[in-house]
Structure 1
Amino acid sequence: MRLLFCLSAAALTLAACSPASDTPAPAAPAAETPAAPETQPAEPMPAVIEAALADAARPEEDRLLDVNRHPAEVLAFAGLEHGWHVADIVPGGGYYARVLSTAVGEEGHVYAFNPEWIAERFADGNAALGELADSRSNMTRVVDTIENFDSAIDAPLDAAFMVLFYHDTAYDGTDRVAMNQAIYDALRPGGVFIVIDHHAPAGSGLTFVNDTHRIDAHTVREEVMAAGFILEAESDMLANPEDDRTGNVFAPDLRRHTDRFVYRFRKPG
């Protein structure tokens, strides 16, 4: 699910100048721009995350993906804690779901959520996910419409993760207003929504969601915040300045090496 850690953010102030005169007038109060989303330096890795990633039961194929996915940094960015109740939205083969399950422990729970169309189109993967969930007492596989997310899982959640899927909702017929509201409603006050996806060119909106599987980060921010979320922090941990953001993410030279944004949205409270 770019632990997502952000660069330090500070509000900029603009000094107002007085008009020239023999007797200078008092300077006008400094005007402040709105505070930018918080950015953060790397922090010590929580022990529960280190232990989950070092778990001998993790498949070797998952471990090989760590170098490009930076799961330790992502989960630390989310603030993941033992005992949390979390959702992995469209978990694929269970890369994050497995680590989340180990990290939150028996006092926590993981909901591995697939929209109905994903479960139908990728039936083998959904079945494998079911086997993973069946093998873990603190994991539940859920299949439903994503607009019904809050009713389909046992809310409230401490966190929801959506990794490399938001762009798909822009062409699969999803009501994204309802989706973001359902995720918001499923989280406890203070809960976090982590979104990771492939950068499209700035200002392109939804233009590339189908052809290259990319989405404009600004569009994601605006849509998620419209549900009531605060964009608390963003990270460049999954950035790749050599990616010009126009190529198909499945092209051999780009696969797993795209320029990706990582956002931490928080439900106020």
Structure 2
Amino acid sequence: MYDQSKLSELIRFARADAGFTVIDVYPGDGDWTRVFSDIVGPQGRVYSFVPAEVAHFKDDPVGRMRTLAKEPGRENVEAVSADLVAMPEVTQPADVIWLHLFYHDLHTALIQAGGATAADFNQAVYERLKPGGSYVIVDHAAAVGAGTSEAQSLHRIEPASVREEVEAAGFILDAESTMLANKDDPHSSKVFDPSIKGKTDHFAFRFLRP
């Protein structure tokens, strides 16, 4: 996670609030699921959505989220799993759909093996998001001109490509933030490289469904 000031700023950027329904897509360790669980409170709902495309991982991501949902005070969390494009079938209409360091994976062989594309997923998000709801994407930035070509190799994606793809699905860019930017990132290393891990240049977009 981030230091407290950046974490607080990201939470404000996501515009989640008490009583909201939030879908946390590919929740990893569940840190953001817990954050949103605290924010939406007992009247809200958080879906910890594990794409079926990654459910077979050895760390048992679905099982881990089901365990998280049993933690005291997490009655508002539900762990669900389905094919990426079937997300609307296992969740309710959402106020916020959150993708943290995952959007680039939509352009990798692992995710696309089952036939899902970024365009398909963005349409699924549009279907599931309430009118006026927020689609928030935070990811590792690739160099200008890289497009989606480094999603597989470096786990990076060019912000302009993300914006183009999401707007093509009918969303409107509501805000972008440089709170996680790092001008010293050369954008040439894999995000797991020790020289840059935890310090990559990030971008953040908030799109609205009209």
Contact 2:134 2:208 in 1 (8 A): yes
Q: What is the rounded CA distance, in whole Å, between the counterparts of 1:124 and 1:112 in structure 2? A: 14
Q: What is the rounded CA distance, in whole Å, between the counterparts of 2:33 and 2:104 in structure 1? A: 20
Counterpart code for 2:163: R
Matches within 5 A, 1:139-218: 139-154=77-92, 156-171=93-108, 172-173=111-112, 174-218=116-160
Contact 1:68 1:257 in 2 (8 A): no
Q: Mean alpha-carbon deviation: is it higher for 116-125 or for 207-216?
A: 116-125
How many positions carry a matched residue from both structures? 203
Matches within 5 A, 1:58-137: 65-67=1-3, 70-135=6-71, 136-137=74-75
Q: What is the rounded CA distance, in whole Å, between the counterparts of 1:217 and 1:68 in structure 2? A: 25
Flag structure 1 segments of 5+ consecutive residues without an equivalent: 1-64
Q: What is the rounded CA distance, in whole Å, between the counterparts of 2:79 and 2:5 in structure 1? A: 23
Contact 2:53 2:84 in 1 (8 A): no
Q: Mean alpha-carbon deviation: is it higher for 138-147 or for 113-122?
A: 113-122
Identity %: 38
Aligned partner of 2:76 in structure 1 is: 138
Aligned partner of 2:182 in structure 1 is: 240
Counterpart code for 2:6: H
Q: What is the rounded CA distance, in whole Å, between the counterparts of 2:137 and 2:168 in structure 1? A: 15
Give 3-state SS (helix, strand or coil) of 1:121's partner. coil
Which deviations, in whole Å up to 9, do the C-alpha atoms of 1:59-115 show, x marking residues without a partner?
A: xxxxxx322892211110122211110000011010100010011000000000011
Counterpart code for 1:190: G
Counterpart code for 1:166: Y
Q: What is the rounded CA distance, in whole Å, between the counterparts of 1:122 and 1:139 in structure 2? A: 23
TM-score by length of 2: 0.92
Say yes or no: does 1:220 pair with 2:162. Answer: yes
The CA deviation at 1:121 is 1.7
The CA deviation at 1:122 is 4.2
The CA deviation at 1:245 is 1.1
Contact 2:25 2:50 in 1 (8 A): yes
Which structure's CA Rg is the greater one?
A: 1
Aligned partner of 2:195 in structure 1 is: 253
Counterpart code for 2:120: A
Q: What is the rounded CA distance, in whole Å, between the counterparts of 1:242 and 1:125 in structure 2? A: 33
Flag structure 2 segments of 5+ consecutive residues without an equivalent: none
Runs of 4+ in 1 over 6 A off after TM superposition: none
The CA deviation at 1:133 is 1.3
Q: What is the rounded CA distance, in whole Å, between the counterparts of 1:79 and 1:199 in structure 2? A: 22
